[in-house]
């Protein structure tokens, strides 16, 4: 078997393990499932599982890691002359296409994260900086400013905040609708408010901001709860 063939087989097996593990997490709860149970469900020995994943955390983080890396890569490759919001929506569309048939898996994965606060804290720490840095670089290139500037920081916060809000709405809807189209609508509201859009758009934007504030509060509560759980384990 050629190296390319081996890598393809490895990805397929890893993907199968991931699907089985996520099904177990969704059914029984993330912290109630062991590596041994995942291996049994996948019809393999634990030693075989560890050839593909270092831990069950590694399985859980595999899909968001692929998603963030695909999004950041697509965003870096968008033309600098392309308007910022259009570039971001196009990058999301390209990333979704690259991930292929993982839509259902993303919904399952996202709901598990929402039900497991300490996982949210870990994922935010691992992927938040990567996404923010990539978005900041794209923003800076289009504004002719440095990634460290206040202006770039504010726009980056808006982009990532709106994305976080839309992503949560998509998850809570069970994956109904197109994320890129939802993002486009949300960015249109931001632009309408900035350019003096009509009253209905401003009202919708205020509602959007209120919901984002609630989500940020919930995220902070999750982080504090995760910290308490870690202390309790110690």
pLDDT for 196: 39
pLDDT of amino acid 195: 43
Summarize pLDDT for 29-61 with one digit per residue, the tens: 999 999 999 999 999 999 999 999 999 999 998
Residue 223's pLDDT is 56
Give the model's pLDDT for residue 221. Answer: 60
Task: Write down the pLDDT at residue 190.
Answer: 83
110 vs 126: CA distance, rounded Å: 16
The distance of Cα 96 from the centroid of its chain, to the nearest Å, equals 11
pLDDT at residue 1 in the model: 43
Regions in the chain scoring below 70 on pLDDT? 1-4, 101, 194-234
Task: Determine the pLDDT at residue 99.
Answer: 76
Residues 127-138 pLDDT 10s: 777 788 888 888
Angle at 53 between CA 50 and CA 59, to 5 degrees: 135
Q: What phi and psi values does residue 81 have, to the nearest 5 degrees?
A: -80, -10
């Amino acid at each position: 078997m050629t190296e390319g063939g081996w890598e393809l087989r490895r990805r397929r097996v890893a993907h199968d393990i991931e699907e089985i593990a996520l099904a177990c997490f969704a059914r029984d709860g993330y912290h109630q499932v062991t590596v041994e149970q995942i291996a049994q469900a996948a019809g393999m020995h634990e030693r075989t599982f560890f050839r593909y994943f270092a831990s069950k955390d590694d399985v859980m983080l595999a899909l968001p890691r692929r998603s963030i890396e695909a999004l950041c890569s697509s965003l870096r490759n968008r033309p600098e002359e392309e308007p910022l919001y259009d570039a971001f929506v196009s990058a999301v569309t390209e990333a979704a296409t690259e991930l292929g048939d993982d839509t259902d898996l993303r919904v399952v994965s996202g709901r598990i994260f929402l039900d497991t606060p300490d996982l949210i804290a870990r994922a935010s720490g691992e992927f938040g900086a990567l996404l923010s840095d990539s978005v900041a670089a794209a923003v800076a290139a289009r504004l002719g400013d440095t990634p460290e500037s206040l202006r770039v920081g504010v726009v980056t916060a808006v982009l990532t905040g709106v994305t976080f809000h839309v992503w949560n709405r998509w998850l809570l809807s069970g994956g109904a609708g197109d994320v890129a189209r939802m993002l486009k609508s949300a960015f249109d509201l931001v632009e309408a408010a900035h350019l003096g859009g009509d009253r209905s758009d401003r009202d919708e934007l205020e509602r959007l901001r209120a919901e984002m504030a609630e989500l940020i509060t919930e995220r902070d509560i999750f982080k504090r709860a995760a910290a308490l759980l870690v202390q309790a384990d110690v």
